[in-house]
Amino acid sequence: MGGTFVVYSDKPQLVLELIGFCTGAGRKAVALAFDAAVAEECAAKGADKVLFFNSGINLPEAYCQQVAEAITGEGAEGFIVGSTVRGREMAAKVAALLNWPLASDVSRVVAGGGELEIERLTYGGAVVQQEKVRLPAVVTVPPGKFEPSSKPKAGAEVVALSAEPDGRYTLLERTRIERQGADLANADKIVCAGMGFAKKEDLKLAFDLAAVLGAEVACTRSVAEERKWLPPDVYVGISGATVKPRLYLTLGVSGQVQHIVGARDSGLIVAVDVNENAPIFSAADYGIVGDLYEVVPTLIDALKNA
Amino acid sequence: MANVITCYKWVIDEKDIRINPDRTVDMSRAQRKISEYDKNAIEAGIRIANRLGARPVGLTFGGPEAKQSLKDALSRGLEAVYWVGHPFAAAADGMVTARVLAAAVQKIGDYNVIVCAEGAGDTYARQVGPRLGALLDLPVITAVCEVEVDGQYLVATRKLEDYVEKVKVSMPAVICVLPEICEAPVPTLKAVLAAGKKPAQELTPQFLGLEEADLAPGISVTGVLGYVMNRKNIILKDGDVAARVKELVAYLKKEGVI
C-alpha cells in the first residue's frame, strides 16, 4: 500500500505497538523519540526510521511545532500516537498545526488506502461509533491494541535533530505519583464502593470484605469527588481508572454507564444493590438484590467459612 | 476588562439514551444538558477570573438547540455567554469545533485564560482544548487538577498516568481541567433568576468569517451501535439474605474466583 505513518508515544512499549500497527497496515513506520535509549530500541525493533529530538527534553509537548514540521518533512499521511495524557495533547496540537482531522482513543483501527476505518466509544461507553477518517489524519491509540513490533528492519536509521522548545513552558516539578489507594491496574480482585454507603465510616464494610477476598478497594466517581471519602486515583470510570480484575464486586453502585465502562473487561462482575432496577444488574454476571448493610456482613461470614 | 473564557458543550443526557435489543440507539426522547465535566470547568473559570479581576464568560458551539443552554450557563455565575449555533454542528468533528471556537475567541477578544474541560460528556475525545490552543498559538496545559495565578503566569498541576507535573506558562493560555479541579455548585434560585438579565450574544459563522470549507469535517460517522454487555445476569432476589449469600458464594466457587 506504501505511504508513511509517523508514530509517537511517551510509553516505549506503546511505541512498539504502534510500529506493529504501521507494519501490519503496509506503511513505513517513522518513530519520534525524545530519549536516546528509546530511539535505539525503536530502530532495533522494527521502525523504518527514527527521528531523535536530541534536546535534553523535559516537556515533549513544547516541541509540537517541530514535530509537525518533521511529519511534513517525511511526507507522512498519518500521525499515530499512543493515547496517554502527553500523547493526546501532542496529537491534538499537531493535528491543529497540520490542519488534519484527529480520531481519539480508537478501540479499533483499520487502515485502507486514503482513509482509516475506526471504532470508538461515545456517551460514556454506551455507544460504539464507527467512523471514516480521511487521510492525512492523526489517530490516538490506547495500549494493548496491537502486537508490539520486535524485529529490526533492514536499513533502519536514527536521525538526530536539534530543536528549540517553545519558551513559554517551564516545567517546575515532576513527582512520581505515590498511590494513595490501591494499585487497581494490577489488582486480581476489586471491591467497588458506591453511593449506597451512607457514611464514610461504613466503608469499613467494603475494606473488611476486600480483606477476606484478597481484593483491593475502588469506588465510583461520586464517592471520590463529591464525598471525598477515597482518593481520586481509586475511582473507576471513563474519567478515572480502567480496570480488568478477575473479580469486580460492587457494593451500592447503581451502575451508570460512565462507571461500568471502566470495569467492563473484568472477568466476573458481581453486584450488591438494594434497587432491583439498578442498571448495574444488567452489567453483572451475578447479583444480590438487598441492603448492603445486611448482605456484606453475611457474605464476609460465609466467605470465611467457605 | 479582560475575559476568562470557558468553553462548554450542550450534550445529550446519556441517561436518556435507550439501546434497543437489536443494538440500535434511540436518542429521540433524550434531554440535553451542559456536559457534566464542563460544569466543573465553568466554576474553575469563574474562580480564575475572580483571582485575576477578570470577567468570566462562556462560549459554546452547537446546533440551534444549544440556545437552550445559555440560561443554565449564566446561572452558574458567568457574566456573559457567547454562542455559535449552526446545524453543521451535528456533524462537526474536533477539527471543525476547534476552528469555530478559535474564531469566536478572537472575536470576543481581550482574553487571558481559556478554560476547557478535559473532554466532553458525549464524545470524550479530549482534543478540542489543546487544538484550540495550537490554533490560537497559545500555550496549553492539559489534565489540570489545580491552578494558581502568579503575576503574568499560570502555574498548573497536571496529572499524568505515573507522574504529577507542575507547569508554568505565560498568559494568555489554555487550560484543560479535570473534574476534580473544583466542585460545580448547583445554581441558587437567585442565580437562576439573575441569569435572565445577563447578556447572551449569538455569533454566526458568517459573522466569524468562517466559510463552508472551514465547517467541513474530516471524520464522518458511518455507524452507531449500542454497547451491549454480554453477562450472565443471574440476579438473586428471593429468599432471606443468608440464602441469597449462600447461593452467591456457591456461584463464586464454581467460577473459581474464591
B-contacting residues in A 10-39 (Cβ below 8 Å): 11
Q: Does A277 touch chain B (CB under 8 A)?
A: no
The SS3 assignment for A252 reads coil
pLDDT over 90 for what percent of chain B?
94
Asked if A129 and A200 sit in the same domain, the reply is no
Q: How far is B199 from chain A (nearest CA, A)?
A: 31
**Residue B115 falls within a domain, yes or no?**
yes
Asked if A132 and A80 sit in the same domain, the reply is yes
Residues A195-246 pLDDT 10s: 999 999 999 999 999 999 999 999 999 999 889 999 988 999 988 899 999 9
Asked if A125 and A41 sit in the same domain, the reply is yes
**Residue B156 falls within a domain, yes or no?**
yes
Asked if A203 and A287 sit in the same domain, the reply is yes
The whole-number pLDDT of residue B187 equals 97
The whole-number pLDDT of residue B102 equals 98
Asked if A120 and A203 sit in the same domain, the reply is no
Residues B72-111 pLDDT 10s: 999 999 999 999 999 999 999 999 999 999 999 999 999 9
**Residue A172 falls within a domain, yes or no?**
no
**Residue A168 falls within a domain, yes or no?**
no
A57: CATH: 3.40.50.620
The whole-number pLDDT of residue A274 equals 97
pLDDT over 90 for what percent of chain A?
85
**Residue B226 falls within a domain, yes or no?**
no
Q: Which chain A residue's Cα is nearest to B137? A: A97
Question: pLDDT confidence of A1, banded at 50, 70, 90?
Answer: low
B-contacting residues in A 74-103 (Cβ below 8 Å): 84-86, 88-89, 91-97, 99-103
Q: Does B253 touch chain A (CB under 8 A)?
A: yes
The whole-number pLDDT of residue B59 equals 98
Question: pLDDT confidence of A163, banded at 50, 70, 90?
Answer: confident
Residues B67-76 pLDDT 10s: 999 999 999 9
Q: How far apart are CA A217 and CA B75, in angstroms?
A: 38
Q: Does B243 touch chain A (CB under 8 A)?
A: no
From A264, A258, A271, A268, select the one nearest A192 (Cα to Cα): A271
Asked if A265 and A156 sit in the same domain, the reply is no
Question: pLDDT confidence of A57, banded at 50, 70, 90?
Answer: low
pLDDT over 70 for what percent of chain A?
99
Q: How far is A63 from chain B (nearest CA, A)?
A: 11
- Chain B residues whose beta carbon lies within 8 Å of the beta carbon of residue A286: 232, 234-236, 248, 251-252
Asked if A8 and A119 sit in the same domain, the reply is yes
- Domain extent for A233: 184-305
- Asked whether residue A5 carries a pLDDT value surpassing 60, the answer given is yes
Q: Which chain B residue's Cα is nearest to A64? A: B134
Strand pairing category for B55-62 and A286-289: unpaired
Q: How far apart are CA B185 and CA A42, in angstroms?
A: 48
- Asked whether residue A185 carries a pLDDT value surpassing 90, the answer given is no
Residues A186-197 pLDDT 10s: 899 999 999 999
The whole-number pLDDT of residue A134 equals 96
Stretch A6-29: mean pLDDT? 96
B78: CATH: 3.40.50.620
Listed in sequence order, the residues at least 6 apart from A210 whose beta carbon sits closer than 8 Å to its beta carbon are A189, A191, A216, A217
Asked if A218 and A290 sit in the same domain, the reply is yes
The whole-number pLDDT of residue B19 equals 87
A204: CATH: 3.40.50.1220
Asked if A247 and A156 sit in the same domain, the reply is no
**Residue A215 falls within a domain, yes or no?**
yes
| Cβ-defined contact of A285 to B180 (cutoff 8 Å) | no
| Cβ-defined contact of A123 to B122 (cutoff 8 Å) | yes
The whole-number pLDDT of residue B229 equals 83
Asked if A210 and A156 sit in the same domain, the reply is no
- Asked whether residue B165 carries a pLDDT value surpassing 80, the answer given is yes
**Residue A12 falls within a domain, yes or no?**
yes
pLDDT over 70 for what percent of chain B?
100
How many domains, chain B?
Answer: 1
| Cβ-defined contact of B249 to A306 (cutoff 8 Å) | yes
**B23 Rama class: left (phi>0) / alpha (psi -120 to 50) / beta:** left
Q: How far apart are CA A208 and CA A108, in angstroms?
A: 39
**Residue A167 falls within a domain, yes or no?**
no
Residues A110-127 pLDDT 10s: 999 899 999 999 998 889
* Reduced 3-state DSSP string for chain B: CCEEEEEECEEECHHHCEECCCCCEECCCCCEEECHHHHHHHHHHHHHHHHHCCEEEEEEEECHHHHHHHHHHHHCCCCEEEEEECHHHHHCCHHHHHHHHHHHHHHHCCEEEEEEECCCCCCCCCCHHHHHHHHCCCCEEEEEEEEEEECCEEEEEEECCCEEEEEEEECCEEEEECHHHCCCCCCCHHHHHHHCCCCEEECCCCCCCCCHHHHCCCEEEEEEEECCCCCCCEEECCCCHHHHHHHHHHHHHHHCCC
**Residue A173 falls within a domain, yes or no?**
no
Stretch B194-199: mean pLDDT? 96
**Residue B135 falls within a domain, yes or no?**
yes
Residues A241-260 pLDDT 10s: 999 999 999 999 999 988 99
Query: Helix, strand, coil shares of chain A as percentages rounded to 5?
Result: 35, 30, 40
- Chain B residues whose beta carbon lies within 8 Å of the beta carbon of residue A99: 95
Q: Which chain A residue's Cα is nearest to B159? A: A85
Higher-pLDDT residue of A235 and A162 is A235
Asked if A11 and A141 sit in the same domain, the reply is yes
Mutate to test the interface with A, among B99, B126, B255 (most CBs of A within 10 A): B126
Mutate to test the interface with B, among A61, A64, A120, A123 (most CBs of B within 10 A): A123
B-contacting residues in A 127-186 (Cβ below 8 Å): 127-134, 137, 166, 168-177
Share the mean pLDDT of chain B: 96
Q: How far is A247 from chain B (nearest CA, A)?
A: 7
The whole-number pLDDT of residue A114 equals 93
- Domain extent for B191: 3-215
How many domains, chain A?
Answer: 2
The whole-number pLDDT of residue B139 equals 97
This model of the complex carries an ipTM of 0.93
The SS3 assignment for A85 reads helix
Asked if A29 and A155 sit in the same domain, the reply is yes
**Residue A77 falls within a domain, yes or no?**
yes
